[in-house]
Amino acid sequence: MSRRALMVSWLFPPHTSIGAKRAYRFARWLPDHGWNATVLCRRRVPASAWDRSPWPLPDGVTVRPEYDAAVFERFTPPPGEGTHETPSAKTVSRTWRDRLDERWSLFVDAMVPTETVAIHAPHAAARIDALLPSHDLLWTTSYPYHSHWLGVRAARKHRKPLVVDLRDPWTPNWVHRRKLPHARAVEAWMERAVFDAADAIVVTTWALEALYRAQFPQHAHKFVTIHNAFDPRDEGPMAPDTTTPVTLVHFGNVYGPWSFETLYRALAALRREGALDGRAVVFENYGKLSDRDRDLARALGVDDLVRVMPTVPFAEGMARMARADALMLAAWADPDARLYVQGKLFDYLAAGRPVIAESAHEDVTRIVRETGAGDVIAPGDVTAMKDALRRALDRAPDRHGATTERAARFSSPEATRRLAELFDRVVMR
């Protein structure tokens, strides 16, 4: 007889974020391991984040888009099909209004403990109270972090086990550190209370697990690492079209401390050396590109090689990744970088194309090398980046990414098997 988990995830497909995909992949594969799921998520996805890809779910999964009250639907217009046009390189520039809007959002985030969507917490708490009694276990995931606090309250009230899923660090987080002191103090208190109450705490990197075990030795036994993962694909990687430009692809946003500065400097150096003469090469970023990176590309004279592409549906993005000459992973040369593994790395494994990962992260190095996915470059190593780009420019037939067999341990069925085993242990305790 299957057990049932209540999964509280503000983000869920058709939302395009990696957080939505993590919750979706767990929900999709849990029934194969003796657990059905009810997913409590937001009602309507903003048009800018709506992904029209197919998101199939088995019969054992029920999605309840009731995290927020129906009244808020009027503030989120329904998404339309829309079109996805290829913009020109001129989109490297941004208007002053766009920059001002982003800075205002950062200021508001610095003022508010957890996040502004905590306005939905009272309604979400009521929905959790209504749903949880018929479930065997409660699973909450962040972002948003306030969902864990709702989980603590509901688990105590209904005497149900609680598994907390931290997709990113909570207080050991660069986003947390730029908040104002009062917000940081509240969040530190909430983090301690959640860790005290949770039956298990899932994180996405081995380094974060080690850090939290050191910070909270009384709860060391609760921390478990389950990386992000990828869904197996029926289609294999495609050979790049040699009649098109050599295409470097980054799938997702570049923001905060992440940057492609080393890539830009390597491209500029190759251009000066004549290595790009007679060769067409483009770097396509599918998502937001920070003002810092836009300015760097212009200053180094490679903005004509950079295309800031609109976000595309996940299925279409996978197809574009499968045709790329190289899949890029942005760098962050900071000790905090070891706490994060960008979720897109696992989609890169599924795409099967060569990866160029600029990273000092031990998890990234281990994953790329174990799967044979490609090159790992130390942050700021322009020479190594030039060498990797030359191999991409040559389009050597023996260049390939991860194979399905070597990457299997990072697949969604395998990650979900580990989560289901954790659920079983927690319920039995």
pLDDT digits (tens, 9 = 90+) for 236-254: 556 666 678 899 999 988 8
pLDDT for residue 314: 87
Which residues of the chain form CATH 3.40.50.2000? 3-97+114-229+411-428, 246-409
pLDDT digits (tens, 9 = 90+) for 99-127: 666 665 655 566 556 677 778 889 999 99
* Residue found under tokens 């060391």: 220
pLDDT for residue 95: 65
d(CA 385, CA 376): 9
Average pLDDT, the chain: 85
- Specify whether the CB–CB gap between 128 and 6 falls below 8 A: yes
Ranked by mean pLDDT, the top range of 85-94, 101-110, 177-186, 303-312 is: 303-312
**CA–centroid distance for 37 within its chain:** 22
pLDDT for residue 85: 42
Share of the chain above pLDDT 90, in %: 48
Residue with more model confidence, 16 or 260: 260
Residues 6+ apart with CB under 8 A from 307: 86, 87, 88, 89, 91, 282, 283, 284, 285
pLDDT at 332 over 70: yes
Amino acid at 325: D
pLDDT for residue 31: 96
Residue with more model confidence, 53 or 163: 163
Residue with more model confidence, 193 or 406: 193
pLDDT for residue 160: 96
Residues 6+ apart with CB under 8 A from 294: 92, 93, 94, 303, 308
pLDDT band at 98 (very low <50, low <70, confident <90, very high): low
> Is CATH 3.90.180.10 the right assignment for the domain spanning 246-409?
no
Residue with more model confidence, 74 or 370: 370
pLDDT for residue 83: 41
Least confident of 94-103, 282-291, 367-376: 94-103
**Over residues 164-182, mean pLDDT:** 82
**Over residues 306-329, mean pLDDT:** 89
d(CA 186, CA 215): 17
Residues listed for the chain? 429
CATH number of 3-97+114-229+411-428: 3.40.50.2000
Least confident of 24-28, 109-113, 175-179, 231-235: 109-113
389: nearest Cα among 399, 183, 287, 13: 399
Phi/psi of residue 8, nearest 5 degrees? -100, 110
d(CA 231, CA 254): 23
Exposed e or buried b per residue across 85-94, where buried means at least 16 C-beta atoms within 10 angstroms of its C-beta? eeeeeebbeb
pLDDT digits (tens, 9 = 90+) for 382-426: 999 999 999 998 886 656 667 767 888 889 999 999 999 999 999
d(CA 7, CA 135): 10
